[in-house]
């Protein structure tokens, strides 16, 4: 059943392709490409030649800068054409900004811009490709439909050839016409094959155009990576600042407040030591309890930052310790051949801690599991529970914060939480940052 359905779908796609909107948009893209590419090629070649010839004078510099600016304008047109007709959104390169104000600085920035020269290169190398794709697609499209519809125009318009059929070959001894039923059927079959094949040829040609536009007219991979790193750095800084504020708040509202109260109680006990030793002893006993609570809060706070057990014994022991404090039974399985980088270990510990806190507070689960393993050069973490589900990384939630934290180190967080079906969160981190 599965194979039959797939085959039927494939055959249907082939039969629909000649009349599909996508095919006609891609064919139109190739037809429009030739006149535009001819214009680009002519202007850029003429401009670069003129500018290079005038470099012996100062006039060559502004001419070349103008040609590069014009090429970037061509890039805007091509990206818009790819987006409108091919349905592919190509990111524009970063704008060229001069370090100083003034026309000379602007021209210098253009001449030193790699993206501007790539735009000019596109105008040159796309021209022969546009000629080839235009001729090939138009020839296949025209011949395919002409052969496929040959019986219509053969019977309706016989006067066009003044012959009973289409003349294919003639010499002094022999003339051959497509006038027999068998030849007409054969012509239709050839036309059908060409018509069905042409959309896929057109698709292959436009795929090359997509690659060419993306590679030469889009944002460079290096610039994109630099932008991502700058964004990740901002996330890391914001996350660190939020962690510091949380630690300060926890210390101020928790351990610090208890220690202040403890100091006051001990002061009162000291004053009552001579007057009422029994009351002073009770106050010292209460202060002792407050010390234990403050120490526990400090331990919990330190454990949330980077516990000693993680440094000393690794993820297995640290995650087992976290699981033991969860409100539901948690199975922990850690299968690692070695310890990852310390920073990644800390992020993995924090991720599991946050996810298990969500299980305790929101999942209404009966049990949970934590699995950690290495796959290639990636550390994978999966936390699952059998709770009510419906979780998701919505803005302002803990899962959204975890997603941002993992993105900052090229990590990924995937949440699968159907309503009533439990929650499975999979985190992927680099083995080395």
Cα–Cα nearest to 110, from 49, 159, 67, 153: 67
Distances (CA, A) of 412 to 237, 352, 406, 417: 19, 14, 6, 16
- Evaluate if residue 83 carries a pLDDT over 60: yes
Pairing between β-strand 368-375 and β-strand 378-385 as defined by DSSP bridges: antiparallel
The tally of CA atoms less than 13 A away on the side-chain side of residue 317 is 10
Cα–Cα nearest to 374, from 404, 345, 417: 345
* Pick from 107-111, 170-174, 228-232, 426-430: least confident: 170-174
Sign of CA dihedral 200, 205, 209, 214: positive
At 140-188, the pLDDT tens digits run 999 998 888 887 776 654 444 444 545 454 555 544 556 667 777 888 8
Cβ atoms of 415 and 392 closer than 8 Å: yes
CB atoms within 10 A of CB 29: 20
Residues recorded for the chain: 433
- Evaluate if residue 2 carries a pLDDT over 50: no
List the structure tokens of 95: 């704008």
State the average pLDDT over residues 335-343: 87
CB atoms within 10 A of CB 404: 16
121 vs 234, higher pLDDT = 121
Intervals of CATH 3.30.565.10 along the chain: 314-430
List the structure tokens of 55: 């470099």
Residue 240 pLDDT grade (very low, low, confident, very high; cuts 50, 70, 90) = low
What's the CATH code, domain 314-430?
A: 3.30.565.10
- Evaluate if residue 270 carries a pLDDT over 90: no
Pairing between β-strand 423-430 and β-strand 330-335 as defined by DSSP bridges: unpaired
229 vs 45, higher pLDDT = 45
End-to-end CA distance of the chain: 47
- Evaluate if residue 230 carries a pLDDT over 80: no
236 vs 419, higher pLDDT = 419
Distance CA(52)–CA(42), nearest Å, equals: 15
What's the CATH code, domain 222-305?
A: 1.20.5
State the average pLDDT over residues 374-399: 82
Intervals of CATH 1.20.5 along the chain: 222-305
List the structure tokens of 324: 């033991």
- Evaluate if residue 313 carries a pLDDT over 90: no
- Evaluate if residue 412 carries a pLDDT over 70: yes
CA geometry: angle at 424 spanning 419 and 428, to 5°?
Answer: 140
404 vs 84, higher pLDDT = 84
Q: Where are the beta strands (DSSP E) in 27-80?
A: none
User: Which distant-in-sequence residues (6+ apart) come within 8 Å of 227 by Cβ?
Assistant: 94
State the average pLDDT over residues 328-352: 88
- Evaluate if residue 6 carries a pLDDT over 60: no
Distance CA(368)–CA(187), nearest Å, equals: 68
Mean pLDDT (the chain, rounded): 79
At 109-152, the pLDDT tens digits run 778 777 888 999 999 999 999 999 999 999 999 999 888 888 77
pTM above 0.75, yes or no: no
């Amino acid at each position: 059943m599965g194979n039959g359905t797939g085959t039927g779908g494939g055959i249907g796609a082939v039969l629909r392709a000649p009349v599909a909107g996508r095919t006609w948009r891609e064919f139109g893209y190739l037809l429009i490409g030739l006149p535009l590419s001819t214009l680009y090629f002519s202007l850029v070649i003429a401009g670069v030649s003129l500018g290079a010839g005038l470099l012996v004078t100062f006039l060559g510099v502004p001419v070349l800068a103008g040609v590069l600016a014009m090429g970037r304008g061509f890039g805007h047109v091509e990206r818009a054409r790819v987006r409108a007709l091919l349905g592919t959104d190509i990111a524009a390169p970063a704008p060229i900004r001069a370090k100083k104000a003034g026309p000379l600085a602007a021209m210098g920035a253009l001449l030193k811009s790699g993206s501007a020269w790539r735009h000019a290169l596109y105008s040159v190398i796309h021209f022969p490709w546009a000629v080839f794709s235009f001729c090939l697609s138009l020839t296949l499209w025209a011949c395919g439909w002409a052969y496929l519809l040959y019986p219509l125009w053969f019977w309706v318009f016989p006067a066009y050839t003044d012959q009973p059929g289409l003349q294919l070959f003639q010499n002094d001894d022999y003339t051959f016409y497509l006038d027999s039923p068998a030849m007409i059927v054969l012509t239709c079959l050839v036309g059908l094959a060409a018509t069905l094949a042409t959309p896929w040829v057109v698709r292959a040609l436009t795929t090359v155009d997509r690659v060419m536009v993306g590679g030469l007219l889009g944002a460079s991979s290096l610039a994109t990576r630099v932008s991502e790193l700058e964004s990740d750095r901002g996330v890391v800084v914001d996350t660190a600042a939020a962690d510091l504020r949380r630690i300060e708040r926890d210390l101020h509202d928790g351990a610090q407040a208890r220690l202040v109260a403890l100091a006051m109680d001990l002061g009162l006990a000291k004053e009552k030591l001579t007057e009422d030793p029994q009351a002073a002893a009770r106050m010292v006993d209460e202060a002792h309890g407050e010390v234990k609570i403050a120490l526990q809060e400090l331990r919990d706070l330190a454990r949330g930052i980077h516990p000693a057990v993680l440094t000393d014994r690794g993820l297995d022991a640290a995650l087992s310790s976290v699981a033991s404090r969860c409100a539901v039974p948690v199975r922990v399985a850690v299968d690692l051949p070695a310890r990852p980088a310390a920073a990644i270990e800390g992020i993995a510990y924090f991720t599991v801690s946050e996810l298990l806190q969500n299980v305790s507070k929101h999942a209404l689960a009966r049990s949970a599991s934590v699995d950690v393993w290495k796959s290639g050069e990636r550390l994978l973490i999966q936390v699952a529970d059998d709770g009510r589900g419906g979780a998701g990384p919505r803005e302002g939630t803990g899962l959204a914060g975890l997603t941002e934290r993992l993105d900052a180190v090229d990590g990924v967080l995937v949440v699968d939480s159907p309503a009533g079906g439990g929650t499975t969160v999979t985190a992927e981190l680099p083995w080395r940052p």
